[in-house]
Amino acid sequence: MSVAKSNRAAPEGMRSIVQPGPPNPERIQWVEARGRAFSFTLQAGVPLLEAARRGFAEAGFAGGVVSMRGGALGPLAYVMPALSKTGANAAFYSDTFRPDGVTQLKFAAMTLGERDGAPFFHCHGLWTETDGHVHGGHILPEESIVAEPFSVEAFGIDGAVFTAEVDSETNFKLFGPVPRAATDAGTNSKTTSRAFALRLRPNQDFAGALEGFCRQRGIFNARIHGGVGSTIGAHFSDGRCVVPFATELAIRSGIIAPGAGGTLVAALDIALVDYLGGIAEGQLMRGDNPVLMTMELVLEVM
The CATH number for 110's domain is 3.30.1330.80
- pLDDT, greater one: 4 or 61: 61
Residue 169 lies in a domain: yes
Does 62 have pLDDT greater than 90? yes
Per-residue pLDDT of 141-181, as tens digits, reads 989 999 999 999 999 999 999 999 999 999 999 999 999 99
Q: What proportion of the chain, given as a percentage, has pLDDT over 70?
A: 94
Give the pLDDT of residue 14: 82
Beta carbons of 205 and 40 less than 8 angstroms apart? no
CA distances to 2, 107, 240, 254 from 37, rounded to whole Å, are 40, 18, 33, 15
pLDDT score, position 187: 62
Q: Is residue 26 part of a domain?
A: no
The verdict on residue 7 lying in a domain is no
Quote the number of domains for the chain.
Answer: 1
pLDDT for 10: 52
Q: Is residue 142 a part of any domain in this protein?
A: yes
Return the pLDDT at 6: 38
The pLDDT score that the predictor gives to residue 254 is 98
Confidence of residue 12 (pLDDT cuts 50, 70, 90): low
Q: Is residue 14 part of a domain?
A: no
pLDDT digits (tens, 9 = 90+) for 110-151: 999 999 999 999 999 999 999 999 999 999 998 999 999 999
Average pLDDT over every residue of 243-270: 96
What rounded mean pLDDT belongs to the chain?
94
Q: Who wins on pLDDT, 262 or 52?
A: 52
Residue 5 has pLDDT above 50, yes or no: no
Judge whether 242 lies within some domain.
yes
Domain that residue 41 falls in? 31-301
